[in-house]
């Protein structure tokens, strides 16, 4: 493979963008810590007690909702397998054209997952 100067400049630009983003994020965090430190020093001089706050707010992980994963997986499986069947049908030579049905089990699996979600939602009501 032969790479051009343009390819190298794109890689360098992406790397510089990532490093720049991390630098700006670090600078913002240090500025925030500096402001908190100044506020605490001023409060200590005045004798005002301050509660302890973490420097980084804790993020609540919601986790994945299994009710949303099933139809998404079904849609992805269905669309990818139908697309693969179309590509195989159009690009295979005439003698091996019957191979286009190979992704059909994944199509049925996707349709089954979507139908399961729809039927399960109706039963919960």
Mean of all residue pLDDT scores within the chain:
86
More confident residue, 5 or 121: 5
The C-alpha atoms of residue 68 and residue 117 are separated, in whole angstroms, by: 9
Q: Is the pTM of this model over 0.75?
A: no
**Structure tokens, 37:** 């430190």
Rounded distance, CA 57 to CA 109, Å? 42
How far apart CA 13 and CA 19 sit, in angstroms, is 10
Domain boundaries in the chain?
1-59, 66-120
Cβ count near 103 (within 10 Å): 20
Find all residues with CB under 8 Å of 71, minimum gap 6, and list them.
113, 114, 117
pLDDT at site 119: 85
């Amino acid at each position: 493979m032969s790479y051009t100067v343009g390819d190298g400049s794109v890689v360098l630009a992406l790397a510089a963008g990532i490093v720049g983003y991390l630098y700006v994020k670090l600078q913002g965090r240090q500025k925030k810590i500096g402001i908190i430190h100044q506020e605490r020093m001023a409060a200590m001089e005045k004798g005002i007690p301050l509660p302890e706050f973490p420097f980084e707010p804790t993020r609540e992980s919601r986790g994945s909702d299994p009710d949303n994963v099933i139809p998404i997986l079904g849609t992805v499986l269905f669309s990818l397998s139908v697309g693969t069947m179309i590509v195989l049908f159009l690009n295979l030579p005439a003698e091996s054209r019957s191979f286009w049905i190979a992704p059909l089990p994944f199509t049925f699996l996707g349709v089954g997952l979507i139908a399961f979600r729809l039927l399960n939602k109706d039963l919960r009501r």
